[in-house]
Amino acid sequence: MVAVLDLVTFLVVLKSACCAQPRPAQDKISPIINMQLDSRKKMLTWTYTRNVSHQECTIDTPTAYSATVNPQVTEDHTYVCTFPNSVLHRGANLTVNVTCDGVVFLQVLTFANPGREGSGAVNFSCLIYNVRFMNCSWAPGPAAPADVKYRLFWASRHEADAECVHYILGPTGTRVGCHFDQLGKPQRTDNYFFLVNGTSRETAIPFLDFTPFKAVQIEKYNPPRNITITYNQSHHIIRWEHPEIRFDLSSHMLYYELHIQTPASSAETNRVFQRGQDPNVYLMPSSTTRAKSAFRVRVRYMYNRLWSEWSPTQWFGLPEQDFSGALVGPVVGTAALSALVLKFLCKRFSVRRKMFPPIPQVKKEIAKALMPTAGVSDPSICTQEVAWDEGHPPPGPQDPEDVVTLEATC
């Protein structure tokens, strides 16, 4: 889409305002001609009528800092500035600043996204799943005409501005998403460039563009695999394997959430967060596990918020014989010990939080869920009984961004 030159203005700034001998008339005429913006490539081009000394170009958009770059020149003497990280759909001012025979010329191209306001796509998001698929989705804008037909284009290392092949339709037949099954060979540095525009018989539809999507950050992993729980008289040893993931990342970039639920009688729900390691292991002292308990785990990339689904729940517990002669004493002792451990756990959170600053959005949700509860230092809250709701982890008193390792608590 080669952009319309909505409005080109230029300013001439005379360096020495007076006193110099009269200059030839052409000195006051801007040497910049044919200024054009390709809004899809985010590329500004122009040519000169005279030689210039200094030159630079700048983009101003409503929601970002302005960016200045040095122009490149092509073989046919066209000058080019590209702004791959800028978002143009809210409009932009592009300025070329050159010095020619000691005179500074500024020429501004004002770009406006054509089409009826509010008819473009909104709420765009994408996620990679099952290692090799990607789905993107959006919603029609509030002022979208009934016959709107959105089109999604994407560019990557493998594809240059290809249109979506498998559109996903909403209930009214409007295109509201795209399914990709050909993502090409993965590379950790992959960036995807998306654009949603559209057509309608009623009106032009404004396009929607974005800063590049970093592919590693939009992958939703499969649940952790091959979970085993063994018992060695003092500990339950829980092991699991990393899921298969699309990009070649160090295991430390994976972030696990463990849920360990012990029976209702003991009313304990334990949530633990830990970084990926080789192998993944969590030790559960048998003092904290008195009978049949449940374990499940989920995983995400350290720097996104897309959790995998939970792994299937695994049951474990102390072998029967350990309870056959159960006395009141040891039971009370164990309960007291777990309360102590939990209290200690609770106290550690503030320290851990500093080491792993929470991601604001996640924290907000959790904070909401926690609102009705009292201070975190009360061990009774740590031990509150919460039922597992499929897909929805119970709201725990622990911040999800906190990392608690067994080594730190026992």
Residues engaged in binding ligand NAG (CB under 6 A): 1, 40, 50-51, 54, 60-62, 91-93, 97, 99, 104, 106, 110, 122-123, 129, 135, 139, 151, 153, 161, 168, 179, 195, 197, 199, 226, 228, 232-235, 237, 241, 283
Smaller CB separation from ligand NAG, 110 or 314: 110
The rounded distance, in Å, linking the Cα atoms of 190 and 212 is 10
Shortest reach from residue 135's CB to ligand NAG, in Å = 4
Shortest reach from residue 250's CB to ligand NAG, in Å = 20
Concatenated DSSP letters of 316-358? E---THHHHT--HHHHHHHHHHHHHHHHHHHHHHHHHHHHSPP
Concatenated DSSP letters of 26-80? GGGS-SEEEEEEETTTTEEEEEESS--SSEEEEEE-TTS--EEE--EE-TTS-EE
Smaller CB separation from ligand NAG, 277 or 380: 277
DSSP secondary structure code for residue 288 in this structure: G
Shortest reach from residue 381's CB to ligand NAG, in Å = 30
Smaller CB separation from ligand NAG, 167 or 356: 167
The rounded distance, in Å, linking the Cα atoms of 203 and 116 is 6
Tokens of 53: 């000394």
Smaller CB separation from ligand NAG, 51 or 265: 51
Q: Label residues 127-136 b or e (16+ Cβ within 10 Å = b).
A: ebbeeeebbb
Amino acid (one-letter) located at 394: P
Shortest reach from residue 397's CB to ligand NAG, in Å = 27
Contact 297, 224 (CB under 8 A): yes
Shortest reach from residue 385's CB to ligand NAG, in Å = 28
Shortest reach from residue 389's CB to ligand NAG, in Å = 20
Smaller CB separation from ligand NAG, 242 or 349: 242
Smaller CB separation from ligand NAG, 93 or 384: 93
